[in-house]
Structure formats: C-alpha cells, structure tokens
Structure 1
C-alpha cells in the first residue's frame, strides 16, 4: 500500500514543537487561564442560581453563557495542555473528530446565544413596559432551547455533506484538532464541503453579528432619547459589557473562520484560536461581574460579605 493510500488512524499535534521555552511558558499561561475560567464561570452560575434578585431573563441567559463557556474551554484546553507538555502529542482519529465537532457545536451555540442576549437588551431598553410580557420565562426557556438546537443543526450540516477521508499526512500544525487546520489534510475533492462550510460559517457568524449590530443601533437610538443622566448610565452599563464580549468573541472567530483558506497554519493562527477558545471564556464572567453592581452584590452575598442596595 502506498503512503498516500494509508488510512489515518491517529494524528500528531505539533503545537510549538520547535520552541521548547515558549511551549513551557504558554503551558502555565493556558493552565492559569483555564482554572480562572472554570472558577469564574462556576461562581457566576452559582451566584445567579442562589440569589433571587438575579432570577431575571438577562441573568438566565448569562448563566447559559457561563455554562457554555465551561463546556467550551473543557472541550479543547485540556488537549492544549497535553500538546504543550510534549514535542509531538498524539490523538486518536475518533477523539480528534469528536473534539472538532464538540468545539464547533459549542462555539456556534455561543454565537447564537450572544445574539439572543442582544435581543433581550433591546426589549429591556426599547420596550420596558412590555418587557415582562415579551420576555416571559416560557419564552426565555424556548429561546434557550432553540439556541442550543440551532447550534446543533449548523454543526451537523457540514458533517453529513459527503464523506471526509484522511490519507497521507497525519500531522496537525496546531495545539488541538482545529477544524480549519484538520480540513487541510482531507484528500480528494473538497469543493462542495468548502462551500457548505463557508455557508454555515456565514449563518453562524455573520447573520448573528449583523443582528446584534441592528439591535444595538436601535438601542442607541432609544438611549439617545433618554433625558436623565441616571437613565443614560443604566442603559450604557447594561449594554457595554455585552458589547465588549461580542467584540472580542466575534472578532477573533471571524478572523479565523472567514479568512481565505490557506495551505499552511501560522503561529498567529494558533494564537488567535487560543484567544476565542481560552481568553474570551475567561473574560466573559470577569467583564460582567466587574461592570455589574447586581452581580458584585450577589458574589458578596455568596461569600458572606456586607450587603447594600437591596
């Protein structure tokens, strides 16, 4: 059997194989980021569940985001840590495929969830008198289930479009089984699957991002008409945290998945991948907690601190 005809049963992850010092430093950085992300998102979920003042649609979706970020980081960062401890880490074919699809599913779901959260803020600011009717608990649960369902469908479509056969090289120049990098190892005609992947990328990234931009333009118009300084401050503090999260996540994800397909993976691409897989899930709870008085008070209550303002 020729080398080019051999069926791949495992992959080799290079990571930063040629930079041992950088590999060691990055290992500790990623480990700290992962632990902070688990702790911060876990505390966010516990605070929202235990504090009745946070039993509102906004914090319901925020708890979904924190749970999603815990799953998202756990789907890839342990593998990143393993890859950084050795020069040539290996991963089985089945484990690699599972990692790709789970990460894509969770990442796509987060894109849709951020759009849902922007709609919640739009209703809260533009239709405050009808907010409790429009965003009832039944509607919120339906939107949350729909978010996870849409993420599953958008991930499933590229999977079922034609068989993907890997042969020849089994070396992945990345920390994990990153979809964009692994797709370069597919042998045979990938024209149709590339088109389908691009379309699903547009559906998962561009359309939710465009929806968020439209909702915030409408929010901006509503905020502009607010006369009181207190109203301005409340509206801006409510929306600014979400906008920061959206900018970091969508910016890094679109730069990775909507760029022209290249034959090679640069170290820069690897760093961008770590940005939305590791850094963004860590920053999400920190941004929301540091910029939100209700969350800070809930955290103080959770740890038995002094309460004020209720």
Structure 2
C-alpha cells in the first residue's frame, strides 16, 4: 500500500475486486444490470403507490418510503462499484470518500428505524384492527417516516465524524466504497477506542431496532394464533412475510459486518458481504413486496387500464 502523511490534501484509492480476464466485464455487466433493475423496480413501486388510490394505506405508504430510501442507498455505492469493475483501482478525493461514508451509514441507519416502524404498522393492523386507521393516521405516518430519516442522519454523524478525524498513513482502501472498517485499517494510530464508539452507536441503532421488531412480531404471533380460522391466520401471516424476509436479509448481513472489531475479520470479507445489503437487498425489495401481492397486481391492472383509456394523439 502506498504511504501518505495525511488525507486532507490527497485521495483514497478504492481497490475494488481483483478479477481475472473475462470475469471483469461479466461482473461489470451483471452489476450494471442489477443496478438498473433496482432503480426501475423501486421507482415503479413509488410511482404505483402514488398513482393508485387502492394502495393509499399506511402499509404501502411505508413500502414506498422504503423504496425511495433504497434508490439513494444503492446509488451511494453502485457507481463506485461499477467504476472499480471497469477501471480497476479508482482514486476518490478524501472529502468525497467521507461524504460517501456518511450518506451510506445515514441511509443504512434510517432503514433500521424504518423497518421498526413498518413492524409497528403491522402490529397495529393485526392486533388493533378496528382502531388501526385511526391510530396510523396520515399525520402520524408522515411524522414517523420523517423521524426515521432524522434519526438515521443524526446517528451517522458520530462514526463518520470520528473516522474523518483520524490521521491516515495509507490510502488504498480494500473495498469498493468507503466504509468504516476498511478506512480504520489505514489509520496511523490505534483505533480501538474509535471502534468501540462505532460499535456502540451502530449497535444501538441496529440492536435496539432489531429487539423492537422481535418484540412486535412476538405480539403479532400471539394475536394471530388466537384467530379462529386457518384462513384468517394465513392471511395475517402473509401481510408480514415480505417484511420479515427483508428484515432477515438486511440484519443478517449488517450484523456480520458491523458487530465486533473491524480487525477480527479477513480484510476482503467485508466487501463481499456488503454486496448483500448494499446491492442485493435493494434489488430484491421491490420483488419481495410485489411478486405475490394480489393488491399490487390489481393496482397495476387499474393503472394500466387508465393509461390505455387515455385519448390518443392524432
């Protein structure tokens, strides 16, 4: 790795993935296709929820907020992934690197909070069905959505600010984007204290939200088991299955990367695991929430019918 004195007046080099020969263009094509499909899928979800009155419910409101978040989340890292696959090692200014670090973690922690709010929405819908729409009013759902963004962007100030204040003696980042652990490995000083602070802040954001989600689903499970018929129980579980799948994907990969000391894992493992929560999960979310959803399919038919009914220009 190349030695430098400080990063304030220089840049970092994103090492990306070392792929041989024909694998590199194949990986680039696959990543580009997945990125474009992710953008299209999430934009369609947002547009569909806004266009169809049948989806004007709290659940679909939060799904559209999640899709909007995923557009920014995937766009924070996918361009640098594509750049490293196309050009190999890619230099980025230190300021841009720290900005990417902050935005990525802000959106990641926002998603943690948003997944908890979505679990709360399902809890109220199943456990308090008669009061659900009164409790989850438009004003409350907008307030909850705004609070998740505010909490995520405030919480990310701590790890991003501490990392940016470190003196760096190396500049080659063993990753395809600027993340905490790869940057901390380049510091000239012991980062043990910084790692503990990062773990505490991220641990509170992820751990507390995960415990809250588990608690809410515990209440949902008790309520569902009391339902009189198997059909009603199956319907209640079906409204939660998509959210539980997204939670499992997001938290499994996030805990693997961010729980524990950055030095306790192989250097190249983080960037492989990051592909799951930074690229694969945003790609799968629109599919998970819409593939077997009858309400979404019916909404698509209604919107397409309205489009076909529009008067054609001569």
CA distance in 2, matches of 1:268, 1:188: 23
Which residues of structure 1 form unaligned runs of 5+? none
Tell me whether 235-244 or 252-261 shows the greater mean CA deviation: 252-261
Deviations along 1:85-123, whole A, 9 cap, x unmatched?
Answer: 122211111111111110000011001100100000000
Residue 148 in 1 paired to residue 185 in 2? no
1:13 aligns with: 14
**2:229 pairs with 1:209:** no
* Residue 298 of structure 1: how far off its partner (Å): 1.4
Matched, 1:30 2:31: yes
Q: Is 1:93 matched with 2:94? A: yes
Match of 2:177 in 1: 176
Instruction: Give me the CA root mean square deviation.
Output: 1.9
Aligned to 1:63: 64
- What is the DSSP-based 3-state SS (H/G/I as helix, E as strand, rest coil) of the residue aligned with 1:15? coil
Deviation track 1:196-227 (CA, whole Å, cap 9, x = no partner) reads: 10111111211111111111111011111111
Residue 112 (structure 2) aligns with: 111
Query: How far 1:134 moved relative to its partner?
Result: 1.3
Q: Is the 8 A contact 1:14 1:88 kept in 2?
A: yes
CA contact (8 A) 1:83 1:176 kept: no
How many residues were matched structurally? 304
Gaps of 5+ in 2: 308-314
| 8 Å Cα contact 2:48/2:299 also seen in 1 | yes
Q: Aligned partners of 2:33, 2:293: CA distance in 1, in Å?
A: 24
Q: Give the drift of 1:263.
A: 7.1
| Contact 1:164-1:186 within 8 A present in 2 as well | no
Post-superposition offset of 1:192 = 2.9
TM-score, normalising length from structure 1? Answer: 0.92
TM-score by length of 2: 0.91
CA contact (8 A) 1:241 1:291 kept: no
- For 2:163 and 2:11, the matched residues in 1 are separated by 21
Q: Secondary structure at the match of 1:187?
A: coil
Find the residue that maps to 1:128 and give its secondary structure.
coil
Distance 2:222 2:233 in 1: 12
